[in-house]
Amino acid sequence: MTLCTLPGTATMSRTISIDPVTRIEGHARISLQLADSGEVEDAKFHLTQFRGFEKFCEGRPYREMPALTARTCGICPVSHLLASNKACDDLLAVSIPPTAEKLRRIMNLAQLLQSHALSFFHLSSPDLLLGWDSDPAQRNIFGVMAQNPELAKQGIKLRQIGQTIIEMLGGKKIHPTWVVPGGVNEPLDSSKREAMLEMLPNALTIAKDTYALFKTMVPRFKDEAEHFGTMPTMFLSLVSPKGQLEHYDGFLRLKDAEGRIVEDMVPPSDYPRIIGEAVEDFSYMKFPYYKPMGYPNGIYRVGPLARLNNADSCGTPFADVALAEFHMLQEDSGPVRSSFHYHYARLVEIIFAIEMMQRLLKDQGILDTRVRARARGNRNEGIGVAEAPRGTLMHHYRIDDAGLISWVDLIIATGHNNLAMNQSIKQVADAYVDGNKLSEGMLNRVEAMIRCYDPCLSCASHAFGQMPLSIELKDAAGNTLDRLVRDA
Amino acid sequence: MPINAPPPSVRVVTLRIDGLDLSAREDETIIEVCRENKIPIPSLCWMDGLSVVGACRLCMVEVTGQNRLLAACATRVAEGMEVTTDSEKLRRYRRTLVELLFAERNHVCSVCVSNGHCELQWLAEACGVDHVRMPYRNAGYGVDSSHEMFRVDHNRCVLCTRCVRVCDEIEGAHTWDLMGRGSDCQVITDLARPWGESDTCTSCGKCVQVCPTGALVKQGTSVGEMVKDQHFLPILARRRSTR
């Protein structure tokens, strides 16, 4: 890292650019606009890459959509696979066999487990364990290995268990094609069930140990918890018909910042009534908002934090205890508002995922061989909504009478959080960024706040560890006042 | 196997292929002798039971005394012939041909219903195509999904014309034909009408089964689920030839 201060640091309107943001899934840039006084005037989170899935899927047979849209993401392809297949189920107008639904749920929970483990252990734990101001060369999973090898090993093991379950069910760890419109294309084998059940107790032990460790660490991050995205927003997620934590099906629930239910038991197919999408010229990511409140007032958050805030209970023993403890993070009785606690929520969900997988695998009907409903396109419009690790994922397709895609709308989990991420950057920059002097620790906090949301931007590439980073302070005339460069 | 039953007076010739001394009927082609003797030669357009067109050029071989490569599917054996089916030059030619097929249209294996069961994919593996060295054309081709049971995706067509020949020679319907030239060439049903509106198609599905790629597939299949069954073809072809 080199730091050079250029002459002429007179205070006036300037822009700080963090490009690229590191240890997130995808590539993005953050720009901070400073006022003459040196205070942060505006903050923007730019998604700088264009994918075009909604356009190039047009004209393709709808049965290709699960495999096509899964390619948006190498970290959470299962989430796209499920949301897409649910949209296709809707096009077929079928109810899939109950065993197929349970099998899909197991795969979704395994995906949740591996993705949350990746986010917590590989991407965020370096900040939490080693500190924001530690040497960037060490602040990665290898640094964690050096300081706490047992924790690093456990994190890798936990992710491996999730990936292995996906592979056992779908034949491949990444981009399995086992889930198909109408169900799944192969029933579960009893030997695979036994093998999965054998792995899960170890996973639960790791998850509970990590949760216990993190609980002791949370008080240390009081300052971050107070400044990392505590703005009042609503929370959107699926809940079960009983109001419990739900990741595969159910109904949409929207709670406001005070905990009042704004929308409840909204069928996923009714999402266009409540969700609108705005576009800004500084980012390729769309800005979804709650329609009745308009843009940008209809700001809401999705993901683990929103799911736990919205759920009345989890429905599994250890996760329910952890949920009660999660709610104690907020001093008043309202929802947990700090985005810093996404990390906490992730650990609670890991426990839930393992417990729920155990329950589903022990289900008597899980080995049933009737796992697929066969039909052809019976509707011209289909909507599939599922909870991805990062939040509510919506796939919406229209097909012509021959079954070819004529229109696609994908609302990705990270997109829902777009407004909230932008506001959170502003908040954390207000607290930590000194416009007159740049420091590594200050920028790390801005980046770390974004990591709380675990954004999945390109969904395909994984920016891991140290990436080239350059931040510049410019005056209103475009002159560089200060420059911080971190080499690759 | 020749389509027409050999007359009793057919002669037998001896030849050498890749150093092996072999005998064959004089009306056989090099590729037929190779298949009988389990000598691998890649091919896409050739198919046991259909007429020969020599379109794909993947079965090119070296014949001693010839100053050019010959298509094994379209060259009859001869007494004393010396054939080489595998050499550095042939491997280079075949790999380039397969790469050109990938570059011309949009064979995206990962989302194809024939993924894992595709002759083009197997060929690419066999020829060592780990990447395509020429730029992709990225030209959009149509998908005709109007037929009740089947679908044609021109993006995945290699113009082998197996569908055209099986429909004409075995089913006798001649629904399929070719239209256009060069990279605009494509298989058509009837006079370029949508397949679902074809008057001549009997919906027998033979074209789908002989198609080497995911161009012709059954409706209702998802990624990797389209497995072709081509065992019917030699049986039907023999029965027709002995009528």
CATH number at residue B32: 3.10.20.740
Domain contains A380: no
Question: Is the residue at B58 inside a domain?
Answer: yes
Q: A305: domain range? A: 54-372+410-416
Domain for residue A399, yes or no? no
Hey, which residues 388-417 in chain A have their CB within 8 Å of chain B? Answer: 402-404
- Tens digits of per-residue pLDDT, A209-219? 999 999 999 99
CB spacing of A67 vs B225 below 8 angstroms = no
Q: Beta strand B143-144 with A287-290: parallel, antiparallel or unpaired?
A: unpaired
Distance from CA of A167 to the nearest CA of B (A): 16
Would the CB atoms of A71 and B111 count as touching at under 8 Å?
yes
Q: What is the pLDDT of residue A462?
A: 25
Percent of chain A with pLDDT over 70: 88
Q: Is residue B243 part of a domain?
A: no
Residue B88 has pLDDT above 90, yes or no: yes
pLDDT at B222: 92
A301 touches chain B (CB under 8 A): no
Q: Which of these, B163, B220, B210, lies nearest to B186 by C-alpha position?
A: B163
Query: Residue B225 and residue A60: Cβ atoms within 8 Å?
Result: no
**Which neighbouring-strand residues pair with B241?**
none
Please state, in angstroms and rounded to a whole number, the distance separating the CA atoms of residues A132 and A276.
Answer: 37
Which of A63, A175, A402 is facing B221, going by the closest CB pair? A63
Residue A167 has pLDDT above 90, yes or no: yes
Instruction: Mean pLDDT check: name the lowest of A228-237, A462-471, B87-96, B186-195.
Output: A462-471
For the cut 90, the answer to whether the pLDDT of residue A22 exceeds it is: no
Contacts of A66 in chain B (CB under 8 A): 222-223
Q: How many domains does chain B have?
A: 2
**Are B220 and B115 in a shared domain?**
yes
Q: Which of B86, B118, B151 is the last residue of a domain?
A: B86
Question: Are B219 and A403 within 8 A, CB to CB?
Answer: yes
**Residue reference for tokens 């001394």:** B21
Residue in the structure block whose two tokens are 């006084």: A37
pLDDT interval class at A1 (50, 70, 90): very low
Indicate if B28 and B101 belong to the same structural domain.
no
Q: Round the average pLDDT of chain A to a whole number and report it.
A: 86
Q: What is the mean pLDDT of residues B37-55?
A: 95
Q: A366 and A447 share a domain?
A: no
**Would you mind telling me the total number of residues written for chain B in this entry?**
243
For the cut 80, the answer to whether the pLDDT of residue A441 exceeds it is no
For the segment A33-44, the average pLDDT, to the nearest whole number, is 78
**B143–A66 CB contact, under 8 Å:** no
Chain B residues interacting with chain A (CB cutoff of 8 angstroms): 110-113, 115, 140, 142-146, 151, 153, 196, 219-225
Mutation to test the A interface, candidates B107, B108, B145, most A Cβ within 10 Å: B145
What is the pLDDT, as a whole number, of residue A354? 98
B122's tokens: 């197997």
Would you say residue A199 lies in a domain? yes
Q: What is the mean pLDDT of chain B?
A: 93
- Confidence check: pLDDT of A159 > 80: yes
B180 pLDDT exceeds 70? yes
Are A464 and A349 found together in one domain?
no
How many domains, chain A? 2
In a domain, B2, yes or no: no
Lowest model confidence (mean pLDDT) among A90-104, A458-472, B167-181: A458-472
Give the per-residue pLDDT at A306: 97
- B113 and A68 in contact by Cβ < 8 A? no
Question: Quick one: B117 and B70 in the same domain?
Answer: no
**Among the listed ranges A126-140, B84-98, B217-231, which one has the minimum average pLDDT value?**
A126-140
Same domain, A204 and A253: yes
B57 and B148 housed in the same domain:
no
Asked which of A43-52, A158-167, B144-153 is least confident by mean pLDDT, the reply is: A43-52
Query: Based on the domain organization, do A209 and A356 belong to the same domain?
Result: yes
Higher pLDDT, A421 or A44: A421
Residue B140 lies in a domain: yes
Largest CA distance in chain B: 54
Q: Which residue has the higher pLDDT, B242 or A276?
A: A276
User: Contact B220/A376, CB-based, under 8 Å?
Assistant: yes
> Cβ A404–B225 below 8 Å, yes or no?
no
On whether any CB of chain B is under 8 Å from the CB of A373, the answer is: no
Checking if the pLDDT of A174 tops 80, the result is yes
B214: distance to nearest CA of chain A, Å?
A: 12
Classify each residue of A393-428 as buried b or exposed e, where b means 16 or more C-beta atoms within 10 Å of its C-beta: bbbbbbbeebbbbeebebbbbbbbbbbbbbbbbbbb
The verdict on A430 touching B (C-beta cutoff 8 Å) is no
Nearest to A185 among B196, B219, B222 (CB): B222
CATH number for the domain that contains residue B131: 3.30.70.20
B47 in the same domain as B19: yes
Taking contacts as CB-CB distances below 8 angstroms, the residues of chain B near A68 are: 111
pLDDT in tens, A77-110: 999 999 999 999 999 999 999 999 999 999 999 9
* Statement to judge: residues A47 and A61 lie in one domain: no
Is A64's CB within 8 Å of B219's CB?
no
The whole-number pLDDT of residue A361 equals 98
For residue A166, being part of any structural domain is answered with yes
Of A181, A376, A402, which has the smallest distance from its Cβ to B222's Cβ?
A181
Contact B151 A61 (CB under 8 A): yes
Which of the four pLDDT bands, split at 50, 70 and 90, describes residue A294? very high
CB atoms A63 and B111 under 8 Å: no
Q: Same domain, yes or no, for B74 and B129?
A: no
Q: Do A59 and B143 touch (CB under 8 A)?
A: yes
Mutate to test the interface with B, among A56, A57, A60, A401 (most CBs of B within 10 A): A60
Looking at the fold, whether B168 and B189 belong to one and the same domain comes out as: yes
Q: Which residues of B touch A180 (CB under 8 A)?
A: 222-223, 225
Nearest chain A CA: its distance from B222 CA (Å): 6
Largest CA distance in chain A: 74
Q: CB distance B110–A402 less than 8 Å?
A: no
**A205 located within any domain:** yes
Which residue stretches of chain B are H helix? 30-36, 88-104, 119-126, 162-165, 206-210, 232-241
**A291 falls in which pLDDT band (50, 70, 90)?**
very high
What CATH number did the domain enclosing A181 receive?
1.10.645.10
Compute the nearest-CA separation of B194 from chain A (Å).
Answer: 11
What pLDDT band is residue A469 in, cutting at 50, 70 and 90?
Answer: very low
- The ipTM of this complex is 0.85
Q: Which residue from A minimizes the CA distance to B224?
A: A177
Is B142 a member of any domain? yes
The reported pLDDT for the residue numbered A11 is 43
B71 domain residue, yes or no: yes
Q: Report residue A327's pLDDT band, with 50, 70 and 90 as the boundaries.
A: very high
What is the predicted pLDDT for the residue at A38? 74
Per-residue CA distances from A418 to A410, A439, A456, A462 (Å): 14, 26, 11, 19
Task: Using CB atoms, pick whichever of A67, A180, A403 lies closest to residue B111.
Answer: A67
Question: pLDDT tens across A375-431, in order?
Answer: 999 999 999 999 999 999 999 999 999 999 999 998 888 889 989 988 888 888 888
Residue A377 domain flag: no
Is A329 within 8 Å of A304 (Cβ atoms)? no
| Residues A66, B222: C-beta atoms closer than 8 Å | yes
Q: How far is A185 from chain B (nearest CA, A)?
A: 9
3-state SS string for A247-316: CCCCEEEEECCCCCEEEEEECHHHHHHHEEEECCCCCCCCEEEEHHHCCCCCCEECCHHHHHHHCCECCC
* Residue A217 shares a structural domain with residue A150: yes
B82 lies in the same domain as B147: no
Residue A162, chain B, CB below 8 Å: the answer is no
pLDDT of residue B223: 92
Residue A212 in domain: yes
Using DSSP, state whether A65 is helix, strand or coil: helix
- Residues A45, A175, single domain; the answer is no
Q: How confident is the model at residue A475, as a pLDDT?
A: 58
In a domain, B229, yes or no: yes
CA A398 from centroid of its chain's CA atoms: 26
Same domain, A297 and A148: yes
Same domain, A190 and A260: yes
Q: Do B145 and A64 touch (CB under 8 A)?
A: no
B149 and B211 within one domain:
yes
Q: Does residue A60 sit at the B interface (CB-CB below 8 Å)?
A: yes
Q: Are residues A335 and A470 part of one domain?
A: no
Q: Which domain holds residue B45?
A: 12-86
Question: Which carries the bigger pLDDT value, residue B15 or residue A33?
Answer: B15
Q: Is A200 on the interface with B (CB under 8 A)?
A: no
pLDDT tens per residue, range B229-239: 999 998 888 88
The answer to the question of residue A383 being in a domain is no
| Domain termination site, one of A363, A385, A416 | A416
Same domain, residue pair A252 and A346: yes
One domain, residues A7 and A71 = no
Closest partner residue to B219 (CB to CB) among A64, A67, A376 is: A376
Average pLDDT rounded to a whole number, residues A344-354: 97
**CA-to-CA separations, A42 to A26, A28, A33, A35, A306, in angstroms, rounded:** 23, 17, 5, 9, 25
Cβ burial A78-95 (10 Å sphere, 16+ → b, else e): bbbbbbbbbbbbbbbebe
B44 and B19 fall within a common domain: yes
User: Which residues does B182 contact at the CB level (< 8 Å), separation at least 6?
Assistant: none
Shared-domain flag, residues B44 and B110 = no
pLDDT at A332: 84
Q: Per the domain annotation, does B7 fall within a domain?
A: no
Q: How far apart are CA B143 and CA B105, in angstroms?
A: 13
pLDDT band with cut points at 50, 70 and 90 for residue A48: low
Query: Do B217 and B144 belong together in one domain?
Result: yes
At B172 the pLDDT is 94
Choosing among B106, B108, B219, B223, which should be mutated to test the A contact, i.e. which has the most A CBs within 10 A? B223
A3 pLDDT more than 60 = no
